[in-house]
Amino acid sequence: MSFFKKAIGAAVGYKVYKNHQPPTIVTPPGMTVVGMEKKGVLGSEWRVKYILDSNKQVTQSFRCRKGTSAITGIGGLGRVDIHWN
């Protein structure tokens, strides 16, 4: 019984650890990521703040979830790739 409790505890701990890992954002030239924050109760959504090199005074953002692999049409620069660890 003790082994099963430890196994369940390890599985839950691993799931919590994976939910706290931010995604890797690959931006096109002309865009810089300036911050990321976790949103939602379960941490399944991330808010990514970025600036465009053509307008450094304005900070913009987009949200991504676990199923998101790319976002297009941001600032007319191209595709933003999102890689989940």
Distance (Å, whole) CA 84 – CA 24: 6
Distance (Å, whole) CA 47 – CA 61: 7
Q: pLDDT tens digit string along 2-57?
A: 888 888 888 777 777 666 788 899 999 999 999 999 887 766 789 999 999 998 99
Distance (Å, whole) CA 18 – CA 22: 9
Q: Residue 49: its pLDDT value, please?
A: 95
Q: What is the pTM of this model?
A: 0.75
Q: Are 32 and 46 in contact (CB under 8 A)?
A: no
Query: What type of residue is 57?
Result: Q
Instruction: Provide the β-strand partners of residue 35.
Output: 49
